[in-house]
Amino acid sequence: MTTASPQPPTDPLAPPLLDAQGRRMTYLRLSITDRCNFRCTYCSPASWGGKRDMLDAAELARITSIFASMGIRRVRLTGGEPLIRPDILDICRGISSLPGIRHLAITTNASFLAPLAVPLREAGVNQLNLSLDTLSPETFRRISKQGDLATILRGIDAAAAAGYASLKLNAVVMRGVNDDEVPALVAYAHERGITPRFIELMPFGQGTPVPTAELVEKLQASGLPLEPEPDDEGADAASLTSGPARYWRTASGRVGFISPLTQNFCGGCNRVRVASNGDLRSCLGGRAQAPLHQLIRGGATDVELAVAIRRALGDKPDGHRFTEPGNGATLLSMMGIGG
């Protein structure tokens, strides 16, 4: 017996929020800046100048409120580097207090985190994803010519002491750059109660990806036993999933892998992205967008914004097509997309 797909509501502001394939959108990735104090080779090309016209805290809260009324339950603030915004605490308070929003997360490089770790939690942030690709100062300088590894590590330690419900450490793995550090990064994260996650390099910048299967073999060869974690969460929990990671168990904690190239996760996509200037992007791997900022500043009503959102998601493809020949040439940088 098959279950019929949910039908779009007659009220544009009411849930569910569906894409062209009938997938239910429950997770908003909201970029609040495309500027960053780092220049990582795989994310932010040296030529990237950034957008000039970012949404303010009130506009971010309004857009999120509309998405929440349509069924979004989880919000992640991304960048660029979100903590570069001087009004970051106001943004977090405004979004975390919205009806319907159950979970607020931030992805950060941790360079500004040491003094903000506790205030962010008090402002309603439930989870931090901490970007750390290496424990070596020399390798860090190879990945980014800007930034300071010691400052990042102090920020991570501050987050570990701040009492967050969830902390994750994200590492983009590049062959011949940091792939030999995977076991050390697992140990570093687990010592601090953090879940490490290893991400296959996507075709946005420089570097050669390392397949997830190879990383699993590398960890097992290092003496770390890994057992796949069963995917037995209930429907409600699944609707609030943090994303496409697959997790494995060890004696010291969980290890996650995000595999956009070798283990395509598009079939279960529940995400919609809004860039820092208000452009809605229905898919990570494309350029189609809806200019929500122009609508807001042109006096659009909430219903008109909801109609524009639904129209854009009606063009959402069934997958990102990263591996199709020539597609890499059409992609924006990660900094331009918003993570």
Strand arrangement of the beta sheet that strand 246-249 belongs to:
227-228, 246-249, 254-258, 195-200, 166-173, 127-131, 103-108, 74-78, 27-31, 271-274, 279-281, 289-291
> Cα angle at 97 between 91 and 103, to 5 degrees?
85
Q: Does the annotation flag 107 for ligand binding?
A: yes
Q: Does the annotation flag 222 for ligand binding?
A: no
Q: Does the annotation flag 80 for ligand binding?
A: yes
Q: Does the annotation flag 168 for ligand binding?
A: yes
Q: Does the annotation flag 266 for ligand binding?
A: yes
Other C-beta atoms closer than 10 Å to the C-beta of 163 total: 9
Q: Does the annotation flag 283 for ligand binding?
A: yes
Other C-beta atoms closer than 10 Å to the C-beta of 291 total: 16
Dist CA 79 CA 173 (whole Å): 20
Q: Does the annotation flag 269 for ligand binding?
A: yes
Q: Does the annotation flag 314 for ligand binding?
A: no
Q: Does the annotation flag 40 for ligand binding?
A: yes
Q: Does the annotation flag 1 for ligand binding?
A: no
18 burial (CB, 10 Å; 0-12 / 13-18 / 19+) is buried
Q: Does the annotation flag 164 for ligand binding?
A: no
Q: Does the annotation flag 299 for ligand binding?
A: no
Q: Does the annotation flag 76 for ligand binding?
A: yes
Q: Does the annotation flag 252 for ligand binding?
A: no
User: Across-strand partners of 168?
Assistant: 129, 195
Q: Does the annotation flag 92 for ligand binding?
A: no
> Cα angle at 323 between 317 and 328, to 5 degrees?
85
Question: Quick check: 339 and 79 in contact, CB under 8 A?
Answer: yes
Other C-beta atoms closer than 10 Å to the C-beta of 109 total: 27
User: Across-strand partners of 127?
Assistant: 105, 166
Q: Does the annotation flag 319 for ligand binding?
A: no
Dist CA 276 CA 50 (whole Å): 10
Annotated binding-site members: 29, 36, 40, 42-43, 76, 80, 107, 131, 168, 202, 266, 269, 271-273, 283
Annotated binding-site members for GTP: 29, 76, 107, 168, 271-273
Annotated binding-site members for [4Fe-4S] cluster: 36, 40, 43, 266, 269, 283
Annotated binding-site members for S-adenosyl-L-methionine: 42, 80, 131, 202
